[in-house]
A and B are shown apart, each in its own frame.
Chain A
Amino acid sequence: MLKSGFLGKRLLIVAALAAATAATLPAEAKTKITMMHQGTADWVQTYKQVAAEFEAANPDYEVELIYAPHDSYNEKLGAAITAKQLPDIIELDAPFLANYAWSKYVVPISPYIDPAILADMTASNVAQGTYPIDNKLYAIGLADSSIVLYGNRKYLEQIGARIPTGVDDAWTREELEAVMAKLAKVDGVKWPLDLFRGYGIKSEWVTYAFSTVLQSMGCDLIDRKTWKATGTLDSEPCVKATKMLQDWAKAGMVVPQSAGTNQFYAAGNPAALAMGGHWFYAEAQKTMGDNIVVMPLPKFGDKAVSPNGTWIWAITSAAKNPEAAGKFLSYFLASKTLRDQARSQSAYPGLKSFAASSPLYAPGGAMAVAFDQADKTAVARPPHPAYPTITVAFMEAMDTIFNGGDPKKALNKAARKIDEEIEDNAGYPPFGTK
């Protein structure tokens, strides 16, 4: 008797759950837009709010948000594609765009977006959303991104370091290393430089941040004409660049991976410099106030290079009603709610109107140097469909190198892995032929 009661309860729960699911089904046919995204809790909340506002303004539309966690987002997207559950709109990390466009998961977006917004895009925003094979725009975002060198004002003044004012007088490698050596002796400094290894060894950060060092020193992840990595990624300048990073880590100059990502602003300020993303400003500013100096990335080699590209939005080939998706995206990008949230995270403007309302990046603003830097020195990560492999291979190499492995060997292994992948895909036509 007791047992059947127990079983009965279970059935009740199942029935209740089924009823609950049924209740959430739309009562009448509205135009439904599905959007897959990632992000931390505050962003998730913002997206929900913008969607609600859009629905209130357009009662015939319904927006369904599909949240996929940041980690393994690319793989989650892959699964959605195989299962033919591709949503109408996807958020994607800019360097992966070439892969999605080549695989025909996403469609050219310009016809569906409000022309006013298209005209509002900054050059770097257009660049990150463009597929080089057909030169069409496939994705659009409110923001772009960059990395700058943050400094602890107090420490830098203590050692009398020269503080660069713009891209043109950025520190050179020698200057940076001299500053680091001096900082290491300052009381309270545990590590002169944070390279944000704390984001993890399988984080896109690795490629995003360190490929710029390679490029500054005269090499690249892959040859952008022949699309071969061997001979480029394992060339002498790349070995030299990664050896430099390795030496810093070996000498205890760099915040180790497990120490987290907050050593620059944590109590006592254990890290004196931080080569961090634009988003780090908002985080650090909360506790450090005016004690932060924002400087351009050092000129490690002959030319100054900074990264670009961030999470942007695209319409998929599965969208039955791309016009509706475009309508929502246009609303979304113009939304004040979204912009307020972005501003609170020191987002790097990708739309001119957003830049105009972001005093942080305006001339005289604390991050103005970042905006200037992107204009003059930004280099995108390789826009090639093999990018998912390129980045994974490079991350593995950097993990080896940071932990004392032979840079030449590690880079050569990565280069061979990339070339193997490209061969396996018959050169990713039409890439091999151009």
Chain B
Amino acid sequence: MSEMALPTTDKRTKLRIANREFRQELGMLMPALVLLAIFLVVPFLLSFWFSLTNERLVPRPVPASFIGLQNFQRVLSDPSFWNSLWNVIRFTLMVLPIQCGFALLTAVLINQKLPFRNLFRSLLFLPAISSMVIVCVIWSTLYQFPTGPLNSLLQGLTFGLAGPVDWLGDSAWSMPALVLLSAWQAYGFQMIVYLAGLQNISPELYDAAKIDGANAWQRFWHITMPGLKQTHVFVILITTIQAFKLFTQVNILTQGGPDGRTDTVVHYMIHSGFVEQKVGYASAVSIILFVIVLAVSLVQRRLMRDAS
């Protein structure tokens, strides 16, 4: 086709071309928009509608009906919901320092010009490519009670003083145990992010500091840390949002127990919607979850802007 190349001013031809172009653009745009509409927008809107009804996962002889804000009332007055929210916050507060601290430590180390640094980087990133399901298989054997690797290690290090710990079954230890395995699985991403951040810090700053006689610790504290300010904000908020979606480990390893100590918002939602089949109720939880994630994201944007 060479219509476009011809210096034609014929309006109808132009219109025809414009029409054809429009149809083509629509054809290229539509698959994505249609899929997003059906599988993202419609369910999202449905969740608002369901949250106002007593819709069930499986149709039953008693039909679903509009019940106003009753689901929200029940969710917000259920101690188990608040417990799951508190657990997520506890998880976040524990996982943040461990995961991000370890990520930063490893990132700083492999950022040095040490021998085999690429090999180390590859090895250290391995957990990050392991699926959470596999991580659960591995760590539930590590956490075996009373005779598992971690308990042997603990008893060996303390010369038998510290007894075997029921890592996943003890209400005091179950959450820290989940934190540890989650941090192991996910720190690799943060490590890569920190590595990118480190490489953005100008080497001249370090050279200048060396000339001024600053030791390694001072250089880290006065150059590296401030240089990573934006990275910190980003890493912390991404980790927080991830923590709010915590589900797989909980569902596979502890099912929210013992005594609800590892129940999370998403697990609570799936339990009420899927196991108890109260889709209306679960939808109310999902909207609350959405509002929380939205709030965290807005805070993130704000902080990112301030940092840069």
Question: Within 8 Å by CB, do A and B touch in the complex?
Answer: yes
Chain A proximity of B55: nearest CB distance (Å): 11
Q: Is the CB of B275 within 8 A of A75?
A: yes
Could you give, for residues 234-259 of chain A, a 1 whenever the CB lies within 8 Å of some chain B CB and a 0 otherwise?
Answer: 00000000000000000000001111
Q: Is the CB of B259 within 8 A of A403?
A: yes
Q: Is the CB of B260 within 8 A of A399?
A: yes
Residues of A within 8 A of B256 (CB): 201-202
Residues of A within 8 A of B62 (CB): 425-426, 428-429
Which residues in chain B, 136-154, are within 8 Å of chain A measured between CB atoms?
A: 143-146
Q: How many residues of B contact A (CB 8 A)?
A: 29
Q: Is the CB of A82 within 8 A of B169?
A: no
Q: How many residues of A contact B (CB 8 A)?
A: 34
Q: Is the CB of B260 within 8 A of A258?
A: no
**Among B54, B256, B258, B277: residue with most chain A CB under 10 A:** B258
Q: Is the CB of B61 within 8 A of A102?
A: yes
Could you give, for residues 239-260 of chain B, a 1 whenever the CB lies within 8 Å of some chain A CB and a 0 otherwise?
Answer: 0000000000000000111111
Residues of B within 8 A of A281 (CB): none
If A72-B275, A258-B169, A259-B145 touch, whether A103 touches B58 (CB-CB below 8 Å) is yes
Report if B274 contacts A (CB, 8 A): yes
Could you give, for residues 416-434 of chain A, a 1 whenever the CB lies within 8 Å of some chain B CB and a 0 otherwise?
Answer: 0000010011101100000
Give A72 to B251 CA distance when docked, in angstroms.
11
If A75-B275, A392-B276 touch, whether A403 touches B57 (CB-CB below 8 Å) is no
Give A424 to B55 CA distance when docked, in angstroms.
11
Chain A proximity of B1: nearest CB distance (Å): 25
Q: Is the CB of B58 within 8 A of A81?
A: yes
Q: Is the CB of B58 within 8 A of A78?
A: yes
Give A273 to B275 CA distance when docked, in angstroms.
33
Report if B60 contacts A (CB, 8 A): yes
Report if B72 contacts A (CB, 8 A): no
Report if A70 contacts B (CB, 8 A): no
Report if A400 contacts B (CB, 8 A): yes
Q: Is the interface of B mostly helix, strand, loop or mixed?
A: loop
Which residues in chain B, 76-134, are within 8 Å of chain A measured between CB atoms?
A: 79-80
Q: Is the CB of B61 within 8 A of A201?
A: no
Residues of A within 8 A of B259 (CB): 399-400, 402-405
Instruction: Give B147's nearest chain A residue, CB to CB.
Output: A259
Give A258 to B166 CA distance when docked, in angstroms.
7
Contact with B60, one of A103, A400, A402, A405 (Cβ below 8 angstroms): A103
Chain B proximity of A73: nearest CB distance (Å): 11
Could you give, for residues 96-116 of chain A, a 1 whenever the CB lies within 8 Å of some chain B CB and a 0 otherwise?
Answer: 000000111000000000000
Residues of B within 8 A of A38 (CB): none
Give A403 to B97 CA distance when docked, in angstroms.
28
**Among A72, A78, A413, A426: residue with most chain B CB under 10 A:** A78
If A256-B169, A258-B145, A403-B171 touch, whether A200 touches B255 (CB-CB below 8 Å) is yes
Residues of B within 8 A of A82 (CB): 57-59
Give A259 to B62 CA distance when docked, in angstroms.
43
Give A74 to B57 CA distance when docked, in angstroms.
12
Q: Is the CB of B274 within 8 A of A75?
A: yes
Contact with A257, one of B59, B144, B258 (Cβ below 8 angstroms): B258
Residues of A within 8 A of B257 (CB): 201-202, 257, 399, 403
Report if B178 contacts A (CB, 8 A): no
Which residues in chain A, 35-82, are within 8 Å of chain B measured between CB atoms?
A: 72, 74-75, 78-79, 81-82
Task: List 9 tightest A-B contacts by C-beta distance, closest first.
Answer: A258-B169, A403-B259, A78-B58, A258-B145, A201-B257, A257-B169, A403-B258, A202-B255, A400-B259
* A residues lining the B interface (CB < 8 Å): 72, 74-75, 78-79, 81-82, 102-104, 200-202, 256-259, 388-389, 392, 396, 399-400, 402-405, 413, 421, 424-426, 428-429
20 contacting pairs across A/B (C-beta < 8 A): A72-B274, A75-B275, A78-B58, A78-B277, A82-B57, A82-B59, A102-B61, A104-B61, A202-B257, A202-B275, A257-B166, A258-B144, A389-B276, A392-B275, A399-B258, A400-B260, A402-B258, A402-B259, A404-B259, A429-B62
